[in-house]
């Protein structure tokens, strides 16, 4: 996630934030330099840098909901904070939390602060400055898959995250929920997904397991070790994490996985370097995951279509805001095309599965 100047209208009350932080980290000196991360359409995220020069700098990250947010459930800072705070002792790739502020009088909104995990993040290409042979690229890819497996092995009770779960029936709740979200966000220029949604509903399996899931696990949400970039030192963006079905998490992750042999539209919308020599193919990722976990996916096409449909709904929700002039970001103008493309991808997988 790139960082730059704070956007107009999204400024922080730096003095108020500094007072709050120094009550918890009194060893810090001076007022922080503030930058804003460019990525993320959900919550506003800032880098706070203390010190430097002769002293080693301390870098913190602050997250808060957008101004005017009314739906607390969609921007629940307390939930994000507590998930990471409780995971940290049992999953060492979570940022260390500094604290949560639910007193909106401090900056006008709840927020939390955590320590920044330093290291490069894979984007459309792998980070520069390293010798990325196919063998090293494969090692990185395997480590990314293995860290997801490790997350799914976390003891939910030991992490005190069991209350996030709603019991059996996670796949059914997801299909129903994403179908309802699509209906609410549909515009005239996108397909109904009626056959796709019916197909998913008809093939919905029982839960494959009950574990902590990330729900947005991608290469551009991991931080690499600067000394050995084939290793992960952090996993970011836990706002959608919950307790649910591990194969649903894997299917959602692979919806973003673009291979070298994919069609030109997929390659154009690629946002992570999964196309490079050495990267596992989607089929290989699934095989590695199932071999390690002992789980069975008798109907893998269901999870594949679920992941693609879910991304289509997310894209349509963003496009809906653009279509109704709730945002004028030109990057969202063509999202309806991506929605139609994902509809085609869903239908193609369904056809291969004999439906």
- Secondary structure, 3-state, 295-355: CCCCCHHHHHHHHHHHHHHHHHHHHHHHHCCCCCCHHHCCHHHHHHHHHHHHHHHHHHCCC
Place of tokens 């690229």: 137
Tell me the per-residue pLDDT of 101-159, one tens digit each, with 9 for 90 and over. Answer: 999 999 999 999 999 999 999 999 999 999 999 999 999 999 999 999 999 999 999 99
Q: What is the pLDDT of residue 226?
A: 96
pLDDT attached to residue 354: 84
CATH architecture assigned to 3-115: 2-Layer Sandwich (3.30)
**Domain edges within the chain:** 3-115, 134-352
pLDDT at 74 over 90: no
Q: Is 113 exposed, middle or buried (0-12, 13-18, 19+ CB in 10 A)?
A: buried
pLDDT at 71: 45
Confidence band (pLDDT; 50, 70, 90) for 229? very high
- The whole-angstrom separation of Cα 216 and Cα 221 is 8
Residue written as token pair 């969202």: 332
Do 289 and 145 touch, CB atoms closer than 8 A? yes
Average pLDDT (92-100) is: 97
Q: At the top level of CATH, which class does the domain 134-352 belong to?
A: alpha beta
Q: What is the pLDDT of residues 20-60, one digit of tens each?
A: 999 999 999 889 999 998 765 568 899 999 986 666 899 99
pLDDT score for 1: 53
Confidence of residue 327 (pLDDT cuts 50, 70, 90): confident
Q: Please, is 147 exposed, middle or buried when counting C-beta atoms within 10 Å of its C-beta (0-12, 13-18, 19+)?
A: buried
């Amino acid at each position: 996630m790139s960082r730059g100047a704070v956007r107009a209208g999204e400024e922080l009350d730096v003095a108020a934030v500094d007072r709050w932080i120094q009550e918890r980290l009194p060893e810090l000196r001076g007022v922080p330099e503030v930058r804003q991360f460019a990525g993320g359409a959900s919550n506003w995220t800032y880098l706070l840098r203390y010190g430097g020069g002769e002293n080693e700098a301390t870098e913190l990250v602050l997250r808060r909901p957008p101004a005017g947010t009314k739906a607390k459930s969609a921007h629940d800072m307390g939930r994000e904070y507590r998930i990471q705070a409780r995971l940290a002792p049992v999953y060492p790739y979570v940022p260390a939390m500094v604290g949560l502020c639910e007193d909106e009088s401090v900056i006008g909104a709840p927020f939390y602060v955590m320590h920044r995990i330093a290291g490069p993040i894979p984007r459309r290409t792998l980070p520069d400055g390293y010798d990325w042979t196919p063998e090293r690229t494969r090692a990185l890819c395997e480590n990314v898959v293995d860290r997801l497996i490790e997350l799914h092995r976390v003891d939910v009770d030991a992490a005190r995250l069991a209350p996030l779960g709603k019991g059996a029936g996670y796949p059914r709740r997801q299909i129903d929920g994403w179908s309802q979200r699509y209906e609410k966000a549909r515009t005239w220029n996108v397909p109904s997904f009626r056959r796709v949604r019916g197909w998913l509903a008809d093939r919905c399996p029982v839960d494959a397991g009950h574990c902590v899931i990330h729900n947005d696990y991608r290469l551009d949400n991991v931080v690499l070790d600067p000394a050995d970039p084939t290793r992960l030192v952090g996993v970011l963006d836990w706002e959608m994490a919950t307790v649910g079905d591990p194969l649903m998490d894997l299917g959602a992750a692979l919806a973003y996985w673009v291979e070298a042999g994919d069609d030109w539209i997929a390659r154009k919308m690629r946002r992570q370097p999964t196309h490079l020599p050495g990267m596992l193919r989607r089929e290989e990722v699934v095989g590695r995951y199932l071999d390690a976990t002992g789980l069975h996916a008798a109907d893998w096409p269901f999870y594949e279509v679920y992941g693609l449909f879910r991304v289509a709904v997310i894209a349509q929700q963003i496009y809906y805001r653009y279509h109704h002039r709730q945002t004028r970001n030109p990057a969202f103008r063509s999202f309806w095309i991506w929605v139609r493309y994902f509809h085609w991808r869903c239908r193609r997988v369904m056809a291969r599965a004999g439906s």
